Every structure is written in structure tokens, then in C-alpha cells.
Amino acid sequence: MAHVPTATQQNPSRKAKERDPVAMGGRDAAYNRAASHNYFLTDRWECGVALRGTEVKSIRQGKANLKDAYGLVKDGEAFLLNAHIGAFSHGNVMNHEETRTRKLLLHKDELRKLTIKTKEKGFTLIPTRLYFKGGRVKCELALARGKQDWDKRETERKREADKETRAAIARSQRA
């Protein structure tokens, strides 16, 4: 005999649709748009972030900003500096500091690789996005080399040429 849900029971699939896409991991909580403009991004690593409860709740509300943030490897540990996570609206006196240094959680072999690569001249670690995965906050770190002004102009020229090419193809397909 099939079970028929009553009016008081909630349909679990409907509840999942109503939930915030950031909390479900369907959308990034924070994205560093300036990173790809200011840097050549090469290798990327996914790492956990050691956070306090009010920080996680603020990230779920979309109050995270990675624009001026960067990563640092020191004494065999990785840290995230200058990442701004706004104060939690319902927090009390135990609310977190907004730009505190946060520890990044990586495996030892990944830390060893990061240490070697960041000691090369011109390379730094830049966080590109914050997102939820399995209920935990993850940070994507990218190994980056800074762009000069002429590099930025060249990237913009390529982007415009690609855009014009796509537009021309779309016009020819419509005709």
C-alpha cells in the first residue's frame, strides 16, 4: 500500500528548492572578480577555512568580500589575510572581527608544493572564490603572477575580438 502524504507533512523536494542557493552550494558565496583582471592565474587548490559560527552565518548571508585578500604560507601553515567577512546581523558581543587572519586547511603535501611555488619570484596566492561544499566553507586558492598594464590591455583586446567573432557567427546563423 502506497504512503500518501497528509496536508501537515512537507514534501522534502519542495523544501530543497526553497533553500538559498549559496547555502546549498549551487552558487559561490563570494567571487574575486579582480583576480583574473590583475593576475595570471595558474594552478588552483581547494582548501577548507577555519571559521567561527558567526562568520559562516555571514557568508551564508552574502557578506564576504575577497577583493583585497591574499594567501600566505608561514611555518608550514597557510593563512588567508584581508578577507572581509561582514559582522553577523544577529551576533552579540561575541561577534567576529571582520578582517581577521583565518587559517586555511590543506594537506601537508599540498602545503609543501605551495611553499615551493610561492618562493619563486613574482608568484603569490590569491583566493578566487568562497563556496559551500557539503555544508562546509571552501576557498579556492590560485597561484598567481601579477599582470602589467600592457598585459591587461592585451587581455581586453582578446576579449573584445572574441566577442565580435561570436556576434558575427550569430548574425550569419540568423541570416
Query: Would you say residue 105 lies in a domain?
Result: yes
CB atoms within 10 A of CB 2: 3
Q: How far apart are CA 118 and CA 70, in angstroms?
A: 12
Query: Would you say residue 12 lies in a domain?
Result: no
Query: Would you say residue 173 lies in a domain?
Result: no
pLDDT of 79 over the 90 cut? yes
Query: Would you say residue 2 lies in a domain?
Result: no
Beta strand spans in the chain (E): 30-31, 39-49, 64-65, 70-74, 77-81, 84-85, 102-105, 123-133, 136-146
Query: Would you say residue 40 lies in a domain?
Result: yes
pLDDT in tens, 104-148: 999 999 999 988 888 888 888 899 989 888 888 899 999 888 877
Question: Does residue 98 contact residue 81 with C-beta atoms inside 8 Å?
Answer: no
pLDDT in tens, 25-73: 667 778 888 887 788 888 899 999 998 888 888 888 888 888 888 888 9
Structural domains of the chain, count: 1
Query: Would you say residue 166 lies in a domain?
Result: no
Query: Would you say residue 116 lies in a domain?
Result: yes
pLDDT of 6 over the 80 cut? no
Give the residue numbers spanning the domain of 48.
22-147
Question: Which has the higher per-residue pLDDT, 25 or 17?
Answer: 25
Question: Does residue 87 contact residue 57 with C-beta atoms inside 8 Å?
Answer: no
Query: Would you say residue 41 lies in a domain?
Result: yes
pLDDT of residue 55: 83
CATH number at residue 33: 2.40.280.10
